[in-house]
Structure formats: structure tokens, C-alpha cells
């Protein structure tokens, strides 16, 4: 990572921290109350988004504690909508995607925990202002009295997914985009991801996805179901715009191995049958991959689509023993992301005896 860190500079990997898998036990979930009207196409869309966020928060609260970050002026409405099911953290916000600009939490030896503050530029300078969100992770980590590691490159939490055993998946379309890290090479970004997540192997799953909002976030494309097992969202028809990029992701996984030297078992998950458009007229970013693993449960999206129940069955097979709650997510994806995008897990320390 030449020019970014000196050999003796502190970073998570050198200090013994790793980013754990999402299925590791959580302390709580972090969310942010919607507040940027333009993301939702106007006041009516914003209101529907708030109602949908509250449904997700209440669902997760049945599995683990939830903290909702909220602007002081929005606290009363958020309390009313969440019906006493969550705790609130009053703080400045520009937007509401806690996965992307919230901290990436890390665990170390014993009781050690910490977090990463990625550089954040609002998905390639798509929205302004973003100065409040660009420091949100630091405010959360200071609230939790955890060390803050400031990464020297642009990344969002939805751009990466890990198996907790040293393997990370991402896309060239996002992290190598000229609107994120124009002066860094793929090798430099890999080194950065290794130093700030503890990953020993980075798998790149291509580009060409139709997602213009996040430029191909991995959490709408593929995710680990377990070490060596990867769920991939496959469009329901070859004519759909993401079919070829998804097939390329499948091919790359078949040709790759993880940090432990294992090949990957790919699990195809059929995406919604019925294509829709968002309020801008763009393809609606509906993905069953964009689910959230809570302690003992899965909170996954539904889209009023014939494939909703099929997706639920795949998730049940991948995560046996977990309760599955399927939440209508159409009003969330109008803003460009899904249930995974609006949540961020805070893991327990290593050695916790409480089951996920």
C-alpha cells in the first residue's frame, strides 16, 4: 500500500483485528432514520421509506437490540413509528444507509473490538452534502468507546462481504471506479482491504451491473452463506440487464478459491420475476441477496413477486434453525438499496458464548 501507510503505521490487521462474518453473534444493530428527501423522489416517498425502516427495525428488535441514529428534529416521529422497540442516538445525518457510512466493526483477541472509518464520498459524489455522514462511523465508535481506524481510501460497507475466515468479495465496478479511487490500482485496493479488514484473499466479481446508485455494491449481487458457500442473485430471464454480469460472477467464483484454499459452492438465487422501475425510471434494484442476518434470525426482503416464496425457501435452507421474517421492501429499494443496506451489525467480542 505504497504511499498510504508506512511500515510501522497502525492498522487493524497489524493490531490483530479482523472483520467477522455477519453470522457471528451481535451486540446490536445500527440503523439511521431517513432524512434526505431527494433520494425518495419527494415527501410522499420519504414518508413511505420511514414507515418501511420502522418495520425493519421492529422486526430486528425481536432478535437483538436496535439503535436508530436520528437527527434531533426527527426524534419524535421516529419514536412514534418504532413503537418503543428501539433505542435512539441523536446525531447529525445527511442520509440513512448505515451499512455504507457506518463503521465496519472489527474483533480482536480476547475482548478487543474496534472499527473502521472508511473514506466516504456519497457513492462517487452523487449527493451533497455528505460531510455529516462521512464522520458518522467515528461518532458511533466513540459512543461505544472503541478504537477508530481511518482507512486511506474510499469504500462503503455494502461494497464488501466477508466469510470471517480471511476471504472478501467485492466488485471492480465499485471500488475501482473512477468516482471512488481513481489513483489506486487493483493491487493497492486489495492491500488496503487486507490491512483494514484482515482479509487474506480478495475475490473480484466483475462489473457491468445496472445499479447506477451504488455502482455495483456486492450486497445486491452475492454474499457468503458460510465459508466456502456463496449465494448469487441470478436474474430470472436472460433478457434482464444483469444476467450476463451475474453469470460472469458465477464463473469467477467457480474458478477461484478462498483464503483456506477451498473451492466455492455457488448457490443460485432466482431474483424477482417481474421487473420494475424506480421513481427515476431506472431498473428497481430488487435483490433477495440484500437480506440481514440477526441473532437467531434472518430479515429478508419481499417484493410482492412470484419468486418471494422461492427466495424464502433458499434462505431457510442456507440458514437452518433461524427464524425468517420477510418484509415488504419495495419502498426501501426506491431509494437505491435494500434491507442489508440500511442495517449494520455490531459484533460481540471473540469468545462470546451467546449463539447467533
Active-site residue set? 341
Pairing relation of β-strands 26-32 and 344-347?
antiparallel
Task: Describe the crossing of helices 75-82 and 43-61 by its angle, rounded to 10 degrees.
Answer: 50
Do 36 and 127 contact (CB within 8 A), yes or no?
A: yes
Do 29 and 64 contact (CB within 8 A), yes or no?
A: yes
Do 113 and 145 contact (CB within 8 A), yes or no?
A: no
DSSP string for residues in 9-21: ---TTTTT-BPPP
Helices (H) and strands (E) in the chain, counts: 10, 16
Q: Which residues pair with 201 in a beta bridge?
A: 167
SS3 161: strand
Do 88 and 99 contact (CB within 8 A), yes or no?
A: no
Do 345 and 297 contact (CB within 8 A), yes or no?
A: no
Alpha-carbon distance 218 to 205, whole Å?
8
Handedness of CA 224, 30, 134, 115 (dihedral sign): negative
Give Cα separations from 179 to 82, 100, 173, 210, 322 (angstroms).
Answer: 36, 16, 10, 16, 39
Task: Tell whether omega for the bond before 130 is within 30 degrees of 0, i.e. cis.
Answer: no
Amino acid at each position: 500500500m505504497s504511499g498510504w501507510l508506512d511500515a510501522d503505521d497502525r492498522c487493524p490487521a497489524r493490531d490483530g483485528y479482523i472483520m467477522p462474518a455477519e453470522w457471528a453473534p451481535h451486540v446490536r444493530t445500527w440503523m439511521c432514520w431517513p432524512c434526505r428527501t431527494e433520494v425518495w423522489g419527494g415527501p410522499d416517498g420519504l414518508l413511505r421509506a420511514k414507515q418501511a425502516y420502522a418495520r425493519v427495525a421492529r422486526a430486528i428488535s425481536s432478535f437483538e437490540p436496535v439503535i436508530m441514529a436520528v437527527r434531533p428534529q426527527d426524534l419524535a416521529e421516529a419514536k412514534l413509528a418504532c413503537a418503543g422497540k428501539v433505542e435512539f442516538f441523536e446525531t447529525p445525518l445527511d442520509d440513512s444507509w448505515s451499512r455504507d457510512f457506518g463503521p465496519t466493526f472489527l474483533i480482536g483477541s480476547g475482548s478487543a473490538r474496534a472499527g473502521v472509518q472508511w473514506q466516504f464520498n456519497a457513492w462517487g459524489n452523487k449527493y451533497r452534502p455528505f460531510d455529516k455522514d462521512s464522520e458518522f462511523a467515528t461518532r458511533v465508535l466513540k459512543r461505544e468507546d472503541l478504537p477508530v481506524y481511518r482507512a486511506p481510501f474510499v469504500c462503503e460497507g455494502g461494497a464488501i462481504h466477508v466469510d470471517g475466515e480471511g476471504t472478501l468479495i467485492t466488485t471492480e465496478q465499485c471500488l475501482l471506479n473512477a468516482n471512488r479511487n481513481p489513483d489506486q490500482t487493483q493491487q493497492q485496493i486489495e492491500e488496503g482491504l487486507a490491512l483494514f479488514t484482515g482479509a487474506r484473499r480478495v475475490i473480484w466479481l466483475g462489473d457491468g451491473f445496472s445499479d447506477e446508485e451504488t455502482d455495483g455494491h456486492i450486497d445486491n449481487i452475492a454474499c457468503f452463506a458460510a465459508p466456502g458457500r456463496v449465494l448469487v442473485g441470478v436474474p430470472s430471464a436472460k433478457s434482464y440487464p444483469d444476467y450476463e454480469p451475474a453469470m460472469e460472477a458465477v464463473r469467477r467464483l467457480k474458478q477461484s478459491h478462498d483464503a483456506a484454499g477451498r473451492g466455492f459452492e455457488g448457490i443460485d438465487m432466482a431474483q424477482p420475476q417481474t421487473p420494475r422501475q424506480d421513481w427515476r425510471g431506472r431498473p428497481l434494484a430488487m435483490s433477495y441477496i440484500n437480506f440481514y442476518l440477526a441473532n437467531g434470525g434472518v430479515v429478508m426482503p419481499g417484493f410482492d413477486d412470484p419468486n418471494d416464496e422461492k427466495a424464502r425457501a433458499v434462505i431457510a435452507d442456507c440458514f437452518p434453525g433461524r427464524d425468517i421474517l420477510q418484509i415488504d421492501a419495495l419502498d426501501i429499494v426506491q431509494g437505491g438499496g435494500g434491507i442489508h443496506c440500511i442495517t449494520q451489525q455490531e459484533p460481540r467480542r471473540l469468545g462470546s458464548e451467546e449463539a447467533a
